[in-house]
Amino acid sequence: MRLSRYFLPTLKDNPAEAQIASHRLMLRAGLVRQEAAGIYAWLPLGLRVLRRIERIVREELDRAGAIELLMPTLQLADLWRESGRYDAYGPEMLRIRDRHERELLYGPTNEEMVTEIVRAGVTSWRELPRNLYQIQWKFRDEQRPRFGVMRGREFLMKDGYSFDLDEAGARRSYQRMFVAYLRTFARLGVKAIPMRAETGPIGGDLSHEFIVLADTGESDVYCDRRVLDLPVPGIDVDYDGDLEPLIRAWTSLYAATSDVHDAARYDADVPEAHRLRTRGIEVGQIFYFGTRYSQPMRAQVTMPDGSARLLHGGSYGIGVSRLAGAIIEACHDDAGIAWPDAAAPFDLGIVDAKAGDAATAAVCGDLHARLAANGVDALWDDTDARAGAKFANMDLIGLPWQVVVGPRGLANGVVELKRRATGERMELSPDDLVAKFA
Ligand SMILES: Nc1ncnc2c1ncn2[C@@H]1O[C@H](COS(=O)(=O)NC(=O)[C@@H](N)CS)[C@@H](O)[C@H]1O
């Protein structure tokens, strides 16, 4: 992509309303623009990040056997009256009337709707278990939207829902999602620690939040720091096997959010040297809630002996838009963002260090085309800005690699490659550069 033909409205100064690094950097790097409190436009570079995050989420959910569908953002109030949550949900729910005075709502979550879909679609016990998920916008009329997309009002969530014949099955579904979440966040370049958590408005009696440790996080957490060194399950993890040992390894070390913190247990179980009390960003939360929704909504199947069996459920959320901010919180420095490869909006940036120079422009164009032919997405700064401004801009938007094409390097037959996160530089020929990313 030529920058001279792109749309990247970066900001020179730090916006006054931004209190944390990710909010400041998302605005300055031209990723998002606030259209209303807690409501953002995702500008082209920011949308590319969302799509990269979605891709990893889909790959890991599909690998774990979940099946994607897409539900509407608008839901009938009557559906929520079936579960009793319409009134209980509170002021966060955006309630709407259509032209026929029908009561609708902008969905904050979809347990009721997916239960209605499964109630109608599953006719035999043989069809279970199933895990259905979507990646869809949600609305929660937060009292105090803040920190940019971290606590928005309209936000993008992966929400998944499992359906089983009994509690044992539902707990296995929960374990599969626990593992899939460990893999998903690790692939996105963040260390998200599963911590016991409150179940809140979703319900149930078992829940884990996945927390990315960050001083600016809204979650207050206590853990045994050895949990930070546990190995993330590999791509060959057997989702049909017994995941109990793996879950036990990840839940035997103390890790809890403050609302379920057990101080006595923490003091007894966690040696002083391993105690870590810090803050974090909740990037995902999983819940087991049994028949909380199937009971009031009569979602059931007939068993071989003719008895009716209520479905046992769980729900599993990932904050896709929140992750864009959380990744920046974990991966930035004074010069700007330093995207992990998997979440970066482009794989690398090409900087023409001498605007107007025919030789550097030709080599940039050739690199851009050959990299594209190998499926490598490059953002080529072909603008007439000074080299210094181009370097600062590339550091701000944080592409993981920068290729600098300048007259002196070309005189020696080389271009310069810089790794954004470490600042490490190397010189290599254009051919060797293309080969490195082939
Ligand atoms: N206001 C918000 N802005 C941005 N992301 C949010 C917001 N509220 C929640 N999230 C993200 O969405 C994830 C799931 O939300 S949740 O309430 O915990 N869970 C659910 O809604 C369940 N129905 C999961 S299917 C959270 O872990 C968080 O990462």
SS (H, E, C) the chain: CEHHHCCCCCCCCCCCCCCCHHHHHHHHCCCEEEEECCEEEECHHHHHHHHHHHHHHHHHHHHCCCEECCCCCEEEHHHHHHHCHHHHCCCCCEEEECCCCCEEEECCCCHHHHHHHHHHHCCCHHHCCEEEEEEEEEECCCCCCECHHHECCEEEEEEEEEEECCHHHHHHHHHHHHHHHHHHHHHCCCCEEEEECCCHHHCCCEEEEEEEECCCCCEEEEEEHHHHHCCCCCCCCCCCCCCHHHHHHHHCCCEEEHHHCCHHHHHHHCCHHHEEEEEEEEEEEEEEEECCCHHHHCCEEECCCCCEEECEEEEEEEEHHHHHHHHHHHCEECCEECCCHHHCCCCEEEEECCCCCHHHHHHHHHHHHHHHHCCCCEEEECCCCCHHHHHHHHHHHCCCEEEEECHHHHHCCCEEEEECCCCCEEEECHHHHHHHCC
Residues 6+ apart with CB under 8 A from 90: 201
Q: How many CB atoms lie within 10 A of CB 170?
A: 24
Question: Best of 71, 141, 143, 285 to mutate for ligand 1, by most ligand atoms within 8 A of CB?
Answer: 285
Tell me whether strands 401-405 and 348-352 are parallel, antiparallel or unpaired: parallel
Around ligand 1, the residues with Cβ closer than 6 Å are 109, 111, 140, 142, 151-152, 155, 157, 159, 202, 282-285, 315-317, 319, 321-322
Nearest C-alpha neighbor of 324 from the set 17, 37, 45: 45
Predicted local confidence at residue 359, as pLDDT:
97
Residue 367 Cα to chain centre, angstroms: 31
- Residuewise pLDDT in 10s, the chain (438 residues): 999 999 999 999 999 999 999 999 999 999 999 999 999 999 999 999 999 999 999 999 999 999 999 999 999 999 999 999 999 999 999 999 999 999 999 999 999 999 999 999 998 999 999 999 999 999 999 999 999 999 999 999 999 999 999 999 999 999 999 999 999 999 999 999 999 887 778 777 789 999 999 988 999 999 999 999 999 999 999 999 999 999 999 999 999 999 999 999 999 999 999 999 999 999 999 999 999 999 999 999 999 999 999 999 999 999 999 999 999 999 999 999 999 999 999 999 999 999 999 999 999 999 999 999 999 999 999 999 999 999 999 999 999 999 999 999 999 999 999 999 999 999 999 999 999 999
Output the CA 365–ligand 1 centroid distance in Å. 43
Predicted local confidence at residue 205, as pLDDT:
73
Predicted local confidence at residue 172, as pLDDT:
96
Q: Whose CA is nearest to atom 21 of ligand 1?
A: 109
pTM of the model: 0.96
Distance CA 403, CA 413 (A): 14
- Which residue's structure tokens are 């009292």? 143
Output the CA 321–ligand 1 centroid distance in Å. 10
Question: What is the b/e burial string over 114-142, where b = at least 16 CB atoms within 10 angstroms of the residue's CB?
Answer: bbbbbbeebeeeeebbbbbbbbbebbbbe
Distance CA 23, CA 56 (A): 23
Output the CA 318–ligand 1 centroid distance in Å. 6
C-alpha pair distances (Å), 1 with each of 4, 283, 367, 391, 437: 9, 31, 12, 17, 17
The token pair that represents 134 in the structure block: 């979507």
Q: Whose CA is nearest to atom 22 of ligand 1?
A: 317
Checking ipTM against 0.85, whether it exceeds it is yes
Output the CA 320–ligand 1 centroid distance in Å. 9
Q: Whose CA is nearest to atom 19 of ligand 1?
A: 317
Distance CA 37, CA 294 (A): 35
Distance CA 290, CA 115 (A): 12
Q: Whose CA is nearest to atom 11 of ligand 1?
A: 319
Output the CA 284–ligand 1 centroid distance in Å. 7
Output the CA 157–ligand 1 centroid distance in Å. 7
Predicted local confidence at residue 199, as pLDDT:
76
324 in Cβ contact with 49 (< 8 Å): yes
